Amino acid sequence: MEKGRQFSYIIKPQSNYYNCLPAFQYATRTHLIKGLPKEYSEVDVEDVYGRLKSNLTDAIASELDVDRSPVIKPEKMEETKQANIIRQVASALLKGLVWQTPQLETAEVDREPRCNAFWWHGRYHTDYKRWNRKKEWMTIPFQYDDSPDIQIRVKEPLPQVISRDDSLVQSAEVPDFPYHPRLQRLKFKSRVLTTVPGTWPNNRGCDFPLVTLHRRNTLIFEGCMFKTIR
């Protein structure tokens, strides 16, 4: 879906500040629950881990033991190593779980796909710019922008957490965080607003994202105090 070019605040998967969860919950109207639905608890994690442990460790070791050229910069070498490990781990998981999850047999794997979404959210405090000083509240346009290292797509969507008719949908509490996004240092850019779940609709049928995988480095803001010190 496209909405044409306009200014919007860009949300990335990484955070510039410590504990941005209330701000993101407010922007997306998200209520957190404890635990997972029963549909997600049918897999015996310990059993799966026991069966796949050797495959996973071999996949990681095969990348760590590679003797790479000393000409390559250490930062670039580390990025390549992490990206390759994620791909190897994803491959091992798919091969090991396909026998008990038939839909993985036809799954498609994307490398660095485009995962975007846009929306508008009302009830934000004004930014007090000259043309907004008389306003008490503003409607803010958001654009989520992500490019995970790996995304796995399947033909059937995940089971819903709760029914749309459930009372929790209408009555669940969401943190009240109506402070302007500039306080979170979100970038305000002009761009074409898009909603793309990793791929454009196609005739293969794998239109539903199942899981995305990120490197740790890509989830930590470059200028953040929590960035790994080398």
Going from the first residue of the chain to its last (230 residues), give the mean pLDDT of each consecutive group of 10, the final group possibly shorter: 82 80 90 76 78 89 76 77 88 88 88 92 84 84 92 87 79 88 88 86 77 79 47
Q: What's residue 224's pLDDT?
A: 52
Please report, to the nearest 10 degrees, the dihedral formed by the alpha carbons of residues 65, 14, 31, 178 taken in order.
170
User: CA angle 103-106-109, nearest 5°?
Assistant: 105
Residue ranges of domains in the chain: 2-31+105-219, 44-99
Helices (H) and strands (E) in the chain, counts: 4, 8
Nearest to 7 by CA among 126, 98, 142: 142
Q: Which residues contact 130 (CB under 8 A, 6 or more apart)?
A: none
Tokens 């635990």 appear where? 35
Q: What is the CA radius of gyration of the chain?
A: 21
Q: Which residues contact 9 (CB under 8 A, 6 or more apart)?
A: 140, 141, 142, 143, 181, 186, 187, 188
- pTM for this model (two decimals): 0.80
- Token pair listed for 187: 């970038």
- Written in H, E and C, the secondary structure of 69-80 is CCCCCHHHHHHH
Q: What's residue 229's pLDDT?
A: 41
